[in-house]
Amino acid sequence: MNLGFIEDERNEFKLVLNEKLEKEVVGFLNANGGNLYIGVDDSGNIVGVDNVDDIQLQIKDRIKNNIMPITLGLFDIEVLNYDDKKYIRVGIAKGNEQPYYINKKGMTENGCYIRIGASAERMTKEQIENLYSKRTRNSLKNIISPIQDLTFSQLKIYYEEKKFTINDNFLKQLDLYTPEGKFNYVAYLLSDNNRISIKVATYSGTDAYDLDENEEYGFCCLIKATNRVIEKFEILNKTFAKITSLERKEKKMFDNIAIREAILNAMVHNQWQTENPPKFEIFSDHISITSTGGLPNGINKEEFLRGYSYPLHPELMRVFKDLDLVEQLGTGIIRILKVYDKECYEISENFIRVNFKYNDVNVLKEEKISNGNNVLSELQSEMLKIMKKNPTITQEELAQKFGVSRMSISRSIGELKEKQIVIREGSNKSGKWIILE
């Protein structure tokens, strides 16, 4: 079996693990990232390796201990199988603290490499100095937390659930301190109590004009907030059924895996330095998830949509990986684009937004009912009858009555408002519906 591609600026093949591991990894870290395959010959043929567990451990220890600056969160190791042959893929992201170098050789021409074409080449003194001058100095790990009296009971519980050993060096191992020994901004995000507000907003219509609900999920450990947002969308995504004379068809409003990956991407890659959290918005016909910050430096839109990227905050990525929230680097976007077209992405200099249109999941008959000059679905027609009889009924009560999701009711009401058939007078809880025609 052949991998089907050749060695190039993104891929390196090694028959066995050898002394060049650090050189190849440093080369990818200082360029745009890539993949190192072990157990594959120079022609891309899968040969396989023995003692896979031992090799994985060696790779992890060597990358972690023999390369500087710290590489945690910038690589992942995956064991692949073909025809009873096991081989290893080491995925390496572009580093955000370039230049990286082999520790024992220092930040010199003998220790710094960069991937050029199909090989790792030594960097010149000028290249090293140029990269160092551009090194990110406002990374989260170097920003002092605005609060120093931090606790981490929530984070420790998550780690204990994954069978990690919690000791006195736990916080230091997660790189939660600045070089001066103070809690950094990563610690702030992962602490039990912070000032980070993370909201899920629900709108009645197709735009952000008519706010229906604004739920708060923040002010806690970012891991807890992330899990709560994921759970919110999982509950929202109910199964709809359409019964015909021949069969019963079931369909979800949206793809759970794609939404989950978009939430995780927003949390991990958000430009937290701006103090603007991700936005999660639910509209009557789609969901929008927006993170602050545009494309990573050196990555264009085409490469981004192919899964080539690097974690802006490797310390956060490391924690999310430890807790099995994310898997390999860059796979989230690939999973999203397996289900949705790449046009779902809006990318600008200051934000990345992904929009998920709902599936066609009207649970009632597709038959349309005429209402004057308007054409209503059967659901909308039945809703109007109930609103006339009980003007104070809430959207939640309507959802329960019809056995559909609250989002389906919200979407239908949004359409009724746009057609100027119904308006809401007063608040969502204590107001009433006014039927205009």
| 3-state SS assignment for residue 80 | strand
231 beta partners:
none
pLDDT in tens, 20-60: 999 999 999 999 999 999 999 999 999 999 999 999 999 99
Q: Are residues 324 and 403 in the same domain?
A: no
Q: Give the pLDDT of residue 132.
A: 86
- The answer to whether residue 232 sits within a structural domain is yes
Q: Are residues 392 and 345 in the same domain?
A: no
**CATH code where residue 268 lies:** 3.30.565.60
Residue where a domain stops, chosen among 337, 357, 377 = 357
Q: Give the pLDDT of residue 431.
A: 87
Residue 273 domain boundaries: 199-357
Integer Cα distance of 364 and 146 in angstroms: 52
| 3-state SS assignment for residue 52 | helix
Q: Give the pLDDT of residue 363.
A: 37
Q: Which residues in the chain land under pLDDT 70?
A: 136-138, 240-249, 328-330, 360-375, 437
- The answer to whether residue 147 sits within a structural domain is no
- The answer to whether residue 161 sits within a structural domain is no
Integer Cα distance of 86 and 81 in angstroms: 5
Q: Are residues 328 and 428 in the same domain?
A: no
Neighbour tally for 30: CB within 10 Å: 24
**CATH code where residue 412 lies:** 1.10.10.10
Q: Give the pLDDT of residue 352.
A: 96
Q: Are residues 393 and 340 in the same domain?
A: no
| 3-state SS assignment for residue 262 | helix
Residue where a domain stops, chosen among 318, 335, 357 = 357
**CATH code where residue 37 lies:** 3.30.950.30
* Tally of structural domains, the chain: 3
